[in-house]
Amino acid sequence: MDYLANLTHLDLQLSKLPIVINVDATDPVAYPNRSQLRYYLQVFAPEFYQGSFELLTTLEASEEPPTTLAGITTLPGANFEIQELLHGLLESTVPPFGIDEITLCQAVVLPFYTKAIRKNGNTLINENLLPSSFVFRGGFEDSYYSSYKDRFFTAYLGANRAFLTWKPNAVMIRPNQPEFLGFLTNFSPSPSELRLRVEITYEDWSSETITAKTLANIAAMAVYNIPVGPTQLNLHNRLNAANKPVIRYTVWVSNENNERLSQERTYLIDRRYTKNVRFFLFQNSLGMWDTLDCYGDGTETLKVQRETAEQFRGYEYLPQVAERVINRVTGEREISVAVGYGRYQNAALRQYWQELFFAEQIFLVTERAYLPLTLVNDTYLADDDREKLVPRTLTFRYTNSERSYSQLPTLAAAPARPTGWRGDAPACELNQSTGLRNGKKRYGLLVQYYTDTGEDVKPRIQKANTAGTEGYIPTWDSADCAASTTTFKNVAISQQSVFKRNNCTAGKVGGKWTITVAANSYGSEVSQADANAKAQSAANALDTQDNANLYGTCITATAIPLGLTNACPDAATNPIFAVLIGSDEPITNTSYNAPTVRYAATGLNAGTYNIDIRVAYSSTPFSTFRLRIPSKGFDSGPLSGNQTYRIANITVNWGDPNLIIIGELL
């Protein structure tokens, strides 16, 4: 088994769940009359895979009413839900019939960004470009939304390196069953190759590991469809040196260095005889394709509707002339199948097949094509405590109606006028995980043409230039697409982690670690704010307990020094300060002492404190000052007059820098 690759996963939005963009409320002081305020949201997305961004639409809304609770008023601004708009741009097409190679699913993931616009009547207040993101065509049960809405692709999919399926692991599979797994490359570093690795176990329990399939030119933040059925991997008739067949196999995805990127999934080949087996391919909730094998009894019925008309028989009234004639006959077929006893003795599988009832697309697998179906059943018995054997019967209706009967053999493809594909819409290729140009240029589109004359096929046929598909034109090196030419690049980030080390030896306490992201590590073609937001997301993704245990400090629990600097020069109208904590006064009245620091006799242990600052003047007029604690990012804003000002809920951690309070004139 391959060693795990070290990856950092990134989150995406889900198009089947709410995607809410909030536009902040305007300043209530500057705009006390709220009746004329209007909020707008412009949504931008690429016209085609890795194409340039285009304006999709402009949404308009009024701000939501203010809410007041316990004397606190909240102005929520305006909220825009854009999931339906984005969902309509995404598409998951059924894998081509007979496909046995890894292919890119180009329309399952889409980048987008939004621009917030605020107006007072027709007068523009401001515009604000919001950070770009990615939307994925999928969803999960609504009851998990609050917990996983911003963490599904990291806390679940990334943490488990899961494929895009809810199907239980270690399931039975028929030798001729088509099976697919979806894999999302929402991580860095991005691989240059995807390798489908397979550990094969034979009947005599000998085993071997092979690389079954490889795909190069891998894009970040993209979905790949991977065929893993026994026939698709040429395992159904495979024998080892002792002439023993394959009984089970385990698959996973690795990079070009054979470092494992995904989870491992095991399949047990079921060679038991059954009279009938029908395979149904359906789109799961995560936008990819699962297979249901039904081996119980089935029936197929044909129901026809006849469109009739009346005609004049003629005055001869010949017996062979009909007064009522049939103009058209339209047939609909339904197929009912039992899943078979035994399959549902596994509770996980029984629960999982609820997935079929949420499928937007279902196909019957035949010898020549996938035939589209609609599930007729609208109820499913998910569980019954009284059941011992668990039968289920499903009824499907063929989506396409019939008008004739035939039984034709499959024909070989007829000779056709030779065609090819030429490139269109050249642009610099971006590393989707960093937003930087990667030094290569690519054609975004392909246009089909006749190779004998060079003219475009009529009507014009174009498609995305996708690796692994017919006519794909690889990228090429181009100096104008170097990373340094990216329009916007991030500034450096250095921040303290939230997580602290928790594996220190006895007598030590864990500290934080400094997370850094170098300048120019991330980029954007949209805005500087977007480039910086990508870098910030990367820094936040590094803030994990595992990294804290690797890079965090182990320190002795030492009280944090508490100090005071009065930067207000000596004058009767300038304040002096004292520091109080509860009933103690650790730092007494302190006049101008900048730039020195007056320290309390004892420091602060880890905890949360209310720190009071007593302010006293000798005479009026009172000068204006402010209080700051740089290590905590605290700023009181303008203050004046004799008073005691409370700095509430200041958290002190072991290993913090000195807690210095600064009073300074404004």
Chain centroid offset of residue 483 CA: 25
Whole-angstrom Cα Rg for the chain: 34
Which of 576, 590, 567, 579 has the alpha carbon at shortest distance from 622? Answer: 576
- Buried b vs exposed e over 396-408: b needs ≥16 C-beta within 10 Å? bbbeeeeeeeeee
Which of 124, 162, 125 has the alpha carbon at shortest distance from 9? Answer: 162
Determine the pLDDT at residue 390: 63
The four Cα atoms 602, 606, 609, 613 give a dihedral, to 10 degrees, of 40
CA dihedral (344, 345, 348, 350) positive or negative: positive
Cβ neighbour number for residue 416 with a 10 Å cutoff:
6
Dist CA 142 CA 145 (whole Å): 5
Determine the pLDDT at residue 419: 93
Which of 104, 15, 86 has the alpha carbon at shortest distance from 46? Answer: 86
Determine the pLDDT at residue 608: 95
* Phi-psi map region of 161: left, alpha, beta (phi>0 left; psi -120 to 50 alpha): left
How far from each other are the two terminal CA atoms of the chain, in whole angstroms?
65
* Phi-psi map region of 503: left, alpha, beta (phi>0 left; psi -120 to 50 alpha): alpha
Determine the pLDDT at residue 343: 53
Determine the pLDDT at residue 230: 96
Dist CA 108 CA 289 (whole Å): 12
Q: State the amino acid at position 151 in one-letter form.
A: R
Dist CA 356 CA 456 (whole Å): 42
DSSP state of 153: I
As given in the structure block, the two tokens for residue 541 are 């993704």
Determine the pLDDT at residue 66: 83
Contacts of 501 (CB under 8 A, 6+ apart): 510, 511, 512, 513, 548, 549, 552, 553, 554
Determine the pLDDT at residue 422: 94
As given in the structure block, the two tokens for residue 63 are 């701000």
* CA 12 to each of CA 19, 165, 264, 362: distance values in angstroms, whole numbers, following the listed order: 11, 17, 23, 26
List, in sequence order, every beta strand (DSSP E) within 255-401: 265-269, 278-283, 289-294, 298-310, 324-338, 362-365, 370-375, 393-398
Q: How would you classify the pairing of strands 278-283 and 298-310?
A: unpaired
> Which parts of the chain have pLDDT scores under 70?
341-346, 387-391, 413
Determine the pLDDT at residue 242: 92
Determine the pLDDT at residue 361: 95
Q: State the amino acid at position 88 in one-letter form.
A: G
Report the alpha-carbon angle 220-225-230, nearest 5.
140
Dist CA 212 CA 221 (whole Å): 23
Determine the pLDDT at residue 73: 77
- Buried b vs exposed e over 620-648: b needs ≥16 C-beta within 10 Å? eebbebebbbeebeeeeeebeeeeeeebe
Confirm if 289 and 264 have CB atoms less than 8 A apart.
no
